Structure 1
Amino acid sequence: MIQGPEPEATRRTAGATESSRANRHWWDRNADDYQREHGGFLGDARFVWGPEGLDEAAAGLLGPAEGLRGLRVLEIGAGAAQCSRWLAAQGARPVALDISHRQLQHARRIDVEAAAEAAGPAGASGLTGPEAPALVQADAGHLPFADGSYDLACSAYGALPFIADTARVHREIARVLRPGGRWVFSVTHPVRWAFPDEPGPEGLTAAASYFDRTPYVEQDARGLAVYVEHHRTLGDRVREITAAGLRLVDLVEPEWPAWNTQEWGGWSPLRGGLLPGTAVFVCVRD
C-alpha cells in the first residue's frame, strides 16, 4: 500500500466541529494499533487512570468498590470499555460511550471473546457475557441521555483532551448526573504542555509557554486537521468545573511507581520521577 505524506504538526486554532471530525476519524484509523500496543497494559477489565498505572481498585477515587453495586455509571471516551468492564464486575451498571465506532468494535470483540471463554467449548460466538457494558457511540458534548439519569460519571484519558469546548462537556455531565453524583476524569497534566512530548532527557526542558492555549494540530497536505489536542491550564479546568455547577473535591497527581518500567509516548520512568504526567479531577454535583 502506498502511504501518503506524514501529517504536519503545528499549533493553530481548531474549533469544535473540526476537532470532533478529525479525532473521530483518527481513532477509527488507529484503534487497532492502539489496542494492540496498549491492550496488555490496560487489560480487558481493569480500571487504570493513566500511564503511571494508578489502578482504581487501589485508589478508590470513585468511592469504595462495594458502594458501586447497582449504580448507573457513564464512562466518557471509553475506548474498548476496559474501565466499564471493571465497573460491571463490581456490580455497577455501566454505559460505555465513545465517538469512535472502531474503538467500540474492540469493546464488542472483547465481550464476545470473554463470553465464549466463560461458556467453554460449547460457547457460541456473538453472545455477550453478564458483565458486558452497554455501548453508545456519541459525542461527549452532546450526551443522548435524560437529566439526572446517572449516579456516577468517569473518564480515564477519554474525550476531554480532544474536545474544543470542554466547558460544554462538564455542563452535560452535570446535567445527566443526579444530585450528589460524582464525576471523575483524568487528563494529561497541564504542566506537560510546556515540555516537548519526549520520554528521554529532551523532554525535561521547558520549550513552550504553559499559558499558550493554542491547540496542537496534525494536518494533511490540504491543511485539514487529522488529529487535534486542546490545552487547558489547571485554573482553566477548575473554572470550567465550577461554572458547570460541580464542586472539585480532590486533585490527584499520581507519582510514577518503581514497578512501572514502560514508556508510553511521552510518559516514561525518567520524566515521571521529575514531572507530573497525569491529573485526576474528582468532582461532585451538589
Structure 2
Amino acid sequence: MIQESEQPEPEATRRTVSGTESSRANRGWWDSNADEYQSDHGAFLGDDRFVWGPEGLDEADARLLAPAAGLKDRRVLEIGAGAAQCSRWLAAQGALPVALDLSHRQLQHALRIGGDGVALVEADAGTLPFRDGSFDLACSAYGALPFVADPVAVLREVRRVLRPGGRFVFSVTHPIRWSFPDEPGPEGLSVSASYFDRTPYVEQDEDGDAVYVEHHRTVGDRVRDVVAGGFRLVDLVEPEWPLWNREEWGGWSPLRGHLIPGTAIFVCDRDD
C-alpha cells in the first residue's frame, strides 16, 4: 500500500510531446531534482570548472570557445547553466558571463555556491530576454537543447543575441547512445532501439502528464539544425573516455565510454 507521503515511480515511455509540455515538465523536473543532482555530481563538476560532459573534457584544455587569452572582457551567455559552474570558470578567465537556466532551484544552487562576476537569469532558452548582438560567445554543456522540442528555435535565438563573428558551442548526449540501453555494464552494449526513431523519451505520472522529457536527434538532424539556425558548423568533437575517469552513473561508465561515444560537442560560428 502506498503511503500518502510516497510518490509512485513515473512511467517511462516514448511518445509525441509538444513544446509547451516539454518546457513545463523539464522545469518541474529540474526544480524537484536539483538538490539530488548537485549532491551526486557536484564533486565531479566542481564549483568553478567548465566540463563539457561525463567524459570530463575541460574547456581549460579543449579551448573550443576561444584561445587561452581570448576570453578576457568577452560577454558570454551560458544556456542551461545549472549551478553556473561553467560561468564561474569563465569569470575567472576575465570573461563577463551570464548564466541562464529554466530552473529556479538550479539557480538557487548557483547563489549558494556564490562567486563574483556571474549574472544569473531565469528564462526559457527559446525566448532569450536579451537584445540582438548582446554577447560575443555562447555555450551550453548538456543544457536546454536535449530537452526542447524545437532546437532550431533555440539556435535562432542564440544567433540573434550573438554579435556577427560570435561563436556558440554546445554539447549533448551523443545520438548513437539512443540505440543502446541506458545501462553502464555489458547489457548496455547491445543495440535495442532504432537510431532513426525520433520519438521523445518521456517519463509521465499516473495521469499521463509528462514529468521529464528528452528529444532525440540524429547526428544529421543536429547538423541540419545548426545550419537552419543560421550557423556554420566549424567542428564536431566526440570526446574519448580518459583513463583517469573511473566515474559510473546511470548509463555512463568507463566500459561504455571506451567503446562508444557518449558526448557530441558542436562548435558553431555566426559569420554575419
Provide the TM-score with structure 1 as the length reference: 0.93
> Given the alignment, which residue of 31, 35, 50 partners 1:32?
35
Mapped contact 1:51–1:264 kept (Cα < 8 A): no
1:257 and 2:260 equivalent?
no
Tell me, in whole angstroms, the C-alpha distance in 1 between the residues paired with 2:251 and 2:117: 32
1:243-273 CA-to-partner distances (Å, cap 9, x unmatched) read: 1210000000000000000112211100001
Mapped contact 1:12–1:214 kept (Cα < 8 A): yes
1:67 match: secondary structure: coil
Partner residue in 1 for 2:261: 276
1:110 and 2:95 equivalent?
no
> Given the alignment, which residue of 221, 224, 229 partners 1:239?
224
Deviation of 1:4 (Å): 1.6
2:128 match: secondary structure: coil
Paired AA for residue 162 in structure 2: L
1:275 match: secondary structure: coil
Tell me, in whole angstroms, the C-alpha distance in 1 between the residues paired with 2:266 and 2:162: 16
Tell me, in whole angstroms, the C-alpha distance in 1 between the residues paired with 2:28 and 2:246: 31
2:69 match: secondary structure: helix
Partner residue in 2 for 1:116: none
1:12-33 CA-to-partner distances (Å, cap 9, x unmatched) read: 0011000000000000000000
Deviation of 1:132 (Å): 3.6
Unaligned segments of structure 2, at least 5 residues = none
> Given the alignment, which residue of 96, 99, 102 partners 2:99?
96
Tell me, in whole angstroms, the C-alpha distance in 2 between the residues paired with 1:65 and 1:85: 16
Partner residue in 2 for 1:83: 86
> Kindly, what percent of the aligned residue pairs are identical?
77
Partner residue in 2 for 1:203: 188
Partner residue in 1 for 2:201: 216
Partner residue in 1 for 2:211: 226
**CA RMSD for the aligned pairs?**
0.8
Deviation of 1:64 (Å): 1.1
Partner residue in 1 for 2:158: 173
Mapped contact 1:16–1:164 kept (Cα < 8 A): yes
Mapped contact 1:80–1:105 kept (Cα < 8 A): yes
**Bigger fraction of residues in helix:** 1
Tell me, in whole angstroms, the C-alpha distance in 2 between the residues paired with 1:144 and 1:276: 34
Tell me, in whole angstroms, the C-alpha distance in 2 between the residues paired with 1:92 and 1:264: 32
Partner residue in 2 for 1:126: none
Tell me, in whole angstroms, the C-alpha distance in 1 between the residues paired with 2:230 and 2:29: 32
Tell me, in whole angstroms, the C-alpha distance in 1 between the residues paired with 2:22 and 2:175: 19
Tell me, in whole angstroms, the C-alpha distance in 1 between the residues paired with 2:57 and 2:110: 22
1:24-54 CA-to-partner distances (Å, cap 9, x unmatched) read: 0000000000000000000000000000000
Tell me, in whole angstroms, the C-alpha distance in 2 between the residues paired with 1:149 and 1:62: 17
Tell me, in whole angstroms, the C-alpha distance in 1 between the residues paired with 2:53 and 2:249: 10
Paired AA for residue 264 in structure 2: A
Tell me, in whole angstroms, the C-alpha distance in 1 between the residues paired with 2:216 and 2:73: 35
Deviation of 1:2 (Å): 2.0
Give aligned pairs, total: 268
Tell me, in whole angstroms, the C-alpha distance in 1 between the residues paired with 2:249 and 2:237: 20
Partner residue in 2 for 1:125: none
Tell me, in whole angstroms, the C-alpha distance in 1 between the residues paired with 2:209 and 2:147: 16
Paired AA for residue 44 in structure 2: F
Partner residue in 1 for 2:44: 41
Partner residue in 1 for 2:136: 151
Mapped contact 1:183–1:282 kept (Cα < 8 A): yes
Paired AA for residue 47 in structure 1: F
Unaligned segments of structure 1, at least 5 residues = 112-128
Tell me, in whole angstroms, the C-alpha distance in 2 between the residues paired with 1:154 and 1:285: 13
2:77 match: secondary structure: strand
